[in-house]
Chain A
Amino acid sequence: MNQSDLVRTEVEALVETVQVKTHFKTARGVARAVDGVSIQIRRGQSLGIVGESGSGKTVLSRSIMGLLPRNGVIRQGSVRYQGQEISEHTPKEMRSIWGREMAMIFQDPMTSLNPVMKVGKQITESLRMHLGMSATEAMAVAEKLFRDVRIPEPTRRLNQYPHELSGGMRQRVMIAIAMACGPNMLFADEPTTALDVTVQAQILELLSEQKRDRNMSLLLVTHNLGVVAGYTDEIAVMYGGKVVEKAPTSTLFADTKMPYTEALLRSIPRLDQPSHSRLATIPGRPPDLVHPPKGCLFAPRCAFVRDLCLNEEPELQQAASPDHTYRCFYPVGSPEYLERKVELTRKGEFVATGEVS
């Protein structure tokens, strides 16, 4: 292998989606939950998917993992894992990928663990199944995994049922199960939403430590921009089933282009603001995925909307810095944006963050 090959393999994506569409047939018509999403995740890299409820972020991660039902779901586009097309794999074929190559942890650790099975059994099950270990071997590995995810008294904990563990402990068990077969790719779907803020910080710390130690890739799905800021290399903001802005984390925060991303950031109450600050809001609600609006999906809620936005849908645009794309005709900082911002500020409708009402 020569030098250029080496560089190429390093840059090549571990997981890549090209124009993935996942549409659900509903009584009201076809809901476009994910509508043409292309993302790449490189080995050892972490990507954050951020969006409001109904933006398609969870459906996207499940589409990649092949965890959606076959009936009533229209799937298009390509999902590649290590260059291999997996979007057409049957569940039986996916079994060689689930666990060993890709694993997932879910939001609610109570409902994703089997309540009538000891947690030790739940973790050794996949070890014996995928790696063909004996019961004793698997138990020893499980104990080590529990130690890795900082579960105190692992030997005792292995013999307990999920209800005997706290929420944070259960999420640690979920992470240990996901790590059991040494996956290359971990999907974490709102892993900390059900947890307390102190425990959330511990779990996020644990995830990024595991990612580093195992050179694993991480896809972190969340609605909290604060969570992704500290723990991801790249962020994709989703809205109405599409990626509306994607950039390396520091670029996204420093040079936000999409008014939606800006509005999301501004609506987070910040600790450095005095109390009773007026919070910026996004009026209205996310688009109807069965009858999406014409033009830009965010236009009906956007403070910077113009006629063009209501009639034509913006394509992905390339920003000044590489790897930064967005979908907007009048991005943050453009002359039209600034003109409107002056107008809104004069009318008192654009409150600078930190202003006291």
Chain B
Amino acid sequence: MAGTGKAHLRNSDDVLLRVEDLVVEFPIGRTGLKVNAVSGISFDVLKGETLGIVGESGCGKSTTGRAIMQLPSPTSGSIVFDGTELTSLSGESMREARTKIQMIFQDPISSLNPRRKVRDIVLEPLSIWNRGTKAEQLAAVDKILEHVGIDPQRAAESQPHQFSGGQCQRISIARSLVLDPKMIICDEPVSALDVSVQAQVVNLLEDLKKEFGLTLVFIAHDLAVVKNISDRIAVMYLGKICEVSGSDDLYRNPAHPYTDVLLSAIPVPDPTVAVKKISVEGEPPSPVSPPDGCRFNTRCPNASDRCRSEEPTLREVEPGHFVACHHPLFGGEAPVAVRGN
């Protein structure tokens, strides 16, 4: 049992992205050791759906996002996007495929070239791919800029540093939309922004998703934001998926002790709500030598001997709600697996 199971994968014609047994490892120099960033995860995203991926730093959520884009290619596993196996593509065909999947990054200011005019930054993807005449390209750029709430006139005259963080994130979004992608991978797109601006960008992403018929993968550590924007959420811990569920179910009824810990750690903006005692000590172990069995066993309040030796696989505890845990908060103990296969 190497993986964390595939019980949660759906058999639907609407699956736009299907990731199976994704493994990403980074060798450490010549030591022979490696960082196990992502250790065999599977998930799928339907057309028009928003999948949220949450977890602490180092859980592999950003690596997963980048692996979908083949930046860098995963160590093993399969990534099928819109019927095409991305891991087997190379060179030109991969570049072509990437126009359909775009990415937005955490730091909006450093992801824009500081020396170029904003309108040229948004135009560049179109000129690289020679989409239409110059006039058509400029018209498309201005239209997109207006969509995201940036004045095209100002964009033609200004460089990124003349815009605020929130505006720069809007510009990044415009750049990602200009090639008319099917899917956008948002890697912590709002964590660097003020709370008021964060709400503006989240609302914008929701609007654009409807207008352009987009599918989103939304990676973040802030569960409140992820919950708001996502249809389905995957919780990651140390390179594995702990729990997959519809977003409202996950919050109403967390099944994995780790999800519960994450939820209880969110500060509530209400002084009448007592601060909950945190049931988790310490920090995640090193991904260089992850613990045997369930990877959360070193910090889990419910850990048993079984958790230290046998790795749990994802199983359904209620319709559409999957958890990889031997002793989940509801849904009963995991059946003991048949050994020796």
Chain A residues engaging chain B, CB cutoff 8 angstroms = 52-53, 152, 166-169, 196-202, 204-205, 223-227, 229-231, 249-250, 253-254, 263-265, 267-271, 273-283, 285, 357
Decide if A223 touches B195 in the complex (CB within 8 Å).
yes
Query: How far is A196 from B56 in the complex, measured between Cα atoms in Å?
Result: 6
Q: A205-B275, A275-B229, A281-B200 are in contact. List 6 more A-B contacts (CB 8 A).
A: A197-B221, A198-B261, A199-B56, A226-B267, A230-B268, A267-B198
Most buried by A among B229, B230, B263: B229
Query: How far is A270 from B266 in the complex, measured between Cα atoms in Å?
Result: 10
Decide if B206 touches A276 in the complex (CB within 8 Å).
yes
Decide if A269 touches B271 in the complex (CB within 8 Å).
no
Beta-carbon contacts under 8 Å, B106-127 to A: none
Residues of A within 8 A of B282 (CB): 152
A271-B227 in contact given A202-B278, A253-B270 (Cβ < 8 Å): yes
Query: How far is A79 from B222 in the complex, measured between Cα atoms in Å?
Result: 37
Residues of B within 8 A of A230 (CB): 267-268, 271, 273, 275
| Chain B proximity of A303: nearest CB distance (Å) | 13
B33 close to A (CB within 8 Å): no
Decide if A265 touches B269 in the complex (CB within 8 Å).
yes
Neighbour of A201 across the interface among B194, B231, B265, B272, CB < 8 A: B265
Neighbour of B280 across the interface among A152, A198, A204, CB < 8 A: A198
B253 close to A (CB within 8 Å): no
Neighbour of A275 across the interface among B57, B194, B231, B262, CB < 8 A: B231
Query: How far is A325 from B158 in the complex, measured between Cα atoms in Å?
Result: 41
B166 close to A (CB within 8 Å): yes
Query: How far is A201 from B272 in the complex, measured between Cα atoms in Å?
Result: 17
| Chain B proximity of A268: nearest CB distance (Å) | 5
Decide if B278 touches A275 in the complex (CB within 8 Å).
no
Neighbour of B228 across the interface among A202, A223, A275, CB < 8 A: A275
Decide if A198 touches B278 in the complex (CB within 8 Å).
yes
Decide if A269 touches B267 in the complex (CB within 8 Å).
no
Q: Which 3 A-B pairs have the closest CB atoms?
A: A226-B267, A279-B199, A282-B196
| Chain A proximity of B41: nearest CB distance (Å) | 20
Beta-carbon contacts under 8 Å, B240-279 to A: 247-248, 251, 261-273, 275, 278
Residues of B within 8 A of A201 (CB): 264-265, 267, 278
A223-B194 in contact given A202-B278, A269-B199, A279-B202 (Cβ < 8 Å): yes
Residues of A within 8 A of B222 (CB): 197
Decide if A53 touches B194 in the complex (CB within 8 Å).
yes
B164 close to A (CB within 8 Å): yes
Q: Show 17 A/B contacts (Cβ-Cβ < 8 Å), sorted by A.
A: A52-B195, A197-B266, A198-B280, A198-B283, A201-B264, A202-B278, A226-B266, A230-B271, A230-B273, A230-B275, A254-B272, A268-B269, A269-B199, A270-B269, A271-B263, A282-B199, A357-B206
B224 close to A (CB within 8 Å): yes
Residues of B within 8 A of A265 (CB): 269
Decide if A271 touches B196 in the complex (CB within 8 Å).
no
Query: How far is A270 from B263 in the complex, measured between Cα atoms in Å?
Result: 12
Report, as a range, how many residues of chain B touch the other chain.
35 or more
Residues of B within 8 A of A52 (CB): 194-197
Decide if B247 touches A275 in the complex (CB within 8 Å).
yes
B304 close to A (CB within 8 Å): no
B302 close to A (CB within 8 Å): no
B225 close to A (CB within 8 Å): yes
Chain B residues engaging chain A, CB cutoff 8 angstroms = 56-57, 164-166, 194-200, 202-203, 206, 221-225, 227-231, 247-248, 251, 261-273, 275, 278, 280-283
Residue on A nearest B299 in the bound complex, by CB: A198
Query: How far is A271 from B254 in the complex, measured between Cα atoms in Å?
Result: 13
Query: How far is A229 from B270 in the complex, measured between Cα atoms in Å?
Result: 6
Residue on B nearest A150 in the bound complex, by CB: B281
Decide if A166 touches B283 in the complex (CB within 8 Å).
yes
Decide if B166 touches A285 in the complex (CB within 8 Å).
yes
Residue on B nearest A280 in the bound complex, by CB: B199
Decide if A271 touches B224 in the complex (CB within 8 Å).
yes
A267-B195 in contact given A197-B222, A275-B230 (Cβ < 8 Å): yes
Decide if A229 touches B195 in the complex (CB within 8 Å).
no
| Chain B proximity of A351: nearest CB distance (Å) | 10
Decide if A197 touches B223 in the complex (CB within 8 Å).
yes
| Chain A proximity of B97: nearest CB distance (Å) | 29
A226-B272 in contact given A267-B195, A271-B223 (Cβ < 8 Å): no
| Chain B proximity of A346: nearest CB distance (Å) | 21
Residues of A within 8 A of B272 (CB): 250, 253-254
Residue on A nearest B276 in the bound complex, by CB: A201
| Chain B proximity of A147: nearest CB distance (Å) | 15
Neighbour of A168 across the interface among B166, B266, B275, B283, CB < 8 A: B283
Decide if A269 touches B202 in the complex (CB within 8 Å).
yes
Query: How far is A224 from B221 in the complex, measured between Cα atoms in Å?
Result: 15
Residues of A within 8 A of B230 (CB): 275
Residue on A nearest B196 in the bound complex, by CB: A282
Decide if B265 touches A197 in the complex (CB within 8 Å).
yes
Residue on A nearest B264 in the bound complex, by CB: A201
A253-B271 in contact given A196-B221, A197-B266, A274-B248 (Cβ < 8 Å): yes
Decide if B262 touches A198 in the complex (CB within 8 Å).
yes
Residues of B within 8 A of A198 (CB): 56, 261-262, 265, 278, 280, 283
| Chain A proximity of B168: nearest CB distance (Å) | 12
Residues of B within 8 A of A264 (CB): 195-196
Neighbour of A271 across the interface among B195, B229, B266, CB < 8 A: B266
Decide if B195 touches A224 in the complex (CB within 8 Å).
yes
Residue on B nearest A51 in the bound complex, by CB: B194
Query: How far is A118 from B204 in the complex, measured between Cα atoms in Å?
Result: 47
Residues of B within 8 A of A167 (CB): 57
Query: How far is A273 from B199 in the complex, measured between Cα atoms in Å?
Result: 14
Residues of A within 8 A of B228 (CB): 269, 273, 275-277, 279
Neighbour of B269 across the interface among A253, A276, A278, CB < 8 A: A253
Query: How far is A110 from B228 in the complex, measured between Cα atoms in Å?
Result: 32
Residue on B nearest A274 in the bound complex, by CB: B248
| Chain A proximity of B213: nearest CB distance (Å) | 16
Most buried by B among A169, A204, A276: A276
Query: How far is A281 from B278 in the complex, measured between Cα atoms in Å?
Result: 31
Query: How far is A223 from B166 in the complex, measured between Cα atoms in Å?
Result: 15
Residues of B within 8 A of A202 (CB): 278, 281
